[in-house]
């Protein structure tokens, strides 16, 4: 396997992304690599909420852009504390833009050796019409990409305790 120095793990804070984050953390610990956890903020687009009686339109929830970013940052920090080992070389970043473009740009800027991500699992029709962020990243990535779904964490990876034994 490649000697990894910089790992990028984009997350949307979903269950699938949590599985990828856990694997990325284990890999970063094993290789003593820097782990950048990236969250891409997509500005909400106002839409007409045609479903009266189904709750509040999420675009009328009353949060400003800064409040949304602050909330997202708190969620990202909490997720990292809960899932990742405390002794990692860890960087948390939130950027704004199109997810695939921002992930690829960050991978270039950071000179990432690997991207670990989880597809969101949208249905096939949506992917056929709009494309998949994960597929776009795999096609254009400057480095290897690992994609994982929930339930795949730690599948065949050495555990953090084993890393010391393997290196010795």
Is residue 54 within a helix (H) or strand (E), and if so which, with residue range? none
Give Cβ neighbours of residue 57 (< 8 Å, ≥ 6 apart). Answer: 47, 49
Report the C-alpha gap between 64 and 161 in whole angstroms.
44
User: Token pair for residue 109?
Assistant: 């800027």
3-state secondary structure of 160: helix
Residue 67 in contact with residue 44, Cβ under 8 Å? no
Q: What is the mean pLDDT of residues 141-154?
A: 75
Sheet holding 145-147, edge to edge: 89-96, 34-41, 6-10, 114-117, 145-147
Please, how many CA atoms are within 13 Å of residue 87, restricted to the half-sphere of its CB? 6
Q: Mean pLDDT lowest for which of 42-46, 53-57, 130-134, 149-153?
A: 53-57
What's residue 93's pLDDT?
Answer: 95
What's residue 130's pLDDT?
Answer: 42
Q: What domains sit in the chain, N to C, each tagged with a CATH number?
A: 6-87+102-167 (3.40.50.620)
When mean pLDDT is compared over 43-47, 57-61, 66-70, 114-118, the highest value belongs to 114-118
Report the C-alpha gap between 142 and 39 in whole angstroms.
19
What's residue 131's pLDDT?
Answer: 52
Query: Which pTM value belongs to this model?
Result: 0.76
Predicted confidence band at 2 (pLDDT cuts at 50, 70, 90)?
Answer: low
In the block, residue with structure tokens 């984050």: 21
3-state secondary structure of 26: helix
What's residue 117's pLDDT?
Answer: 92
């Amino acid at each position: 396997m490649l000697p990894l120095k910089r790992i990028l793990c984009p997350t949307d804070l979903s269950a699938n992304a949590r599985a990828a984050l856990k694997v990325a953390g284990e890999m970063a610990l094993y290789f003593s690599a820097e782990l950048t956890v990236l969250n891409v903020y997509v500005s909400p687009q106002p839409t007409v909420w045609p479903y009266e009686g189904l709750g509040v339109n999420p675009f009328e929830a009353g949060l400003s852009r800064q409040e949304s970013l602050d909330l997202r940052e708190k969620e990202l920090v909490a997720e990292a504390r809960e899932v990742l080992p405390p002794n990692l070389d860890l960087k948390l970043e939130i950027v704004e833009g199109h997810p695939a473009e921002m992930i690829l740009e960050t991978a270039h800027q950071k000179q990432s050796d690997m991207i670990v991500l989880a597809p969101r699992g949208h249905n096939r029709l949506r992917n056929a019409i709009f494309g998949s962020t994960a597929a776009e990243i795999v096609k254009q990535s400057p480095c290897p990409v690992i994609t994982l779904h929930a339930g795949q964490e730690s599948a065949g990876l050495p555990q953090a305790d084993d890393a010391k034994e393997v290196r010795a």
